[in-house]
Amino acid sequence: MRQHHDMGGEPAGRVEKTEHDYAPWEKRVDALLVLLSDRERSLIRTDELRKNIEAIGPDAYEKMSYYERWITSVTANLLQRGAITAEELSRKLADVERREKEGLL
């Protein structure tokens, strides 16, 4: 079975010549990956990043932007490696949401 990320030769439409200046949050995702994958930290490898992106379901893969896939994969890897726990993450996400509502971000 072909995995959905393995798309070489598949039918597709015209290539739209799109590009955009990366948003600060996208650059931060990139920076996190660079830092976490350096020799000193070694909390994610390129092939782990790829594996976790490939694990995103086909529908979500199509809908998500490039850096949305990356932060999803980085997060999954930190959980897999035990660097963060699901409970810590869910509490922190709730906290971020609260601060956003209160205008504190």
Partner 1 sequence: MSQARFQPGDRVKVRNAEVVGHMRTPRYIRGHEGEVERICGFFANPEELAYNRHGLPKRALYRVRFDQKKVWPDYQGPAGDTVDVEIYEHWLDKA
Partner 2 sequence: MSTHHDHDHDHHDHKHPTQPDVDGPLTYHQRLEIAVRELLIEKGIVTADEVRRAIEAMDARTPAQGARIVAHAWADPAYKKKLLTEPREASLELGVDPGVTKLVVVENTDKVHNLVVCTLCSCYPRSILGLPPDWYKSRAYRSRAVREPRKVMSEFGLEIPDDIAVRVHDSTADMRYLVLPKRPKGTEGWSEEKLAAIVTRDTMIGIAEARIP
- The helix (H) or strand (E) run that includes residue 76 is helix 66-81
Stretch that binds partner 1, among 14-22, 44-52, 56-64, 87-95 (CB under 8 A): 44-52
Q: Is 29 in the site for partner 2 (CB under 8 A)?
A: yes
- Would you state the structure tokens that stand for residue 72, as one six-digit string? 């999803």
DSSP result, 16-45 = P----PPPHHHHHHHHHHHHHTSTTT----
Stretch that binds partner 1, among 3-11, 22-30, 61-69, 96-104 (CB under 8 A): 3-11
CB-based contact 5:54 (threshold 8 Å): yes
Per-residue contact string for residues 59-78; x = within reach of partner 2 by CB under 8 A: ---x-xxxxx--xx-xx--x
- Would you state the structure tokens that stand for residue 96, as one six-digit string? 């971020």
Distance, first Cα to last Cα, the chain: 45
Q: Which residues bind partner 2 (CB under 8 A)?
A: 5-25, 27-32, 34-36, 41, 43, 50, 53, 62, 64-68, 71-72, 74-75, 78, 83-84, 88-89, 92-93, 95-97, 100, 105
Kindly list the residues in this chain that would bind partner 1 in the complex (CB under 8 A): 1-3, 6, 8-9, 45-48, 50-51, 54, 80-81
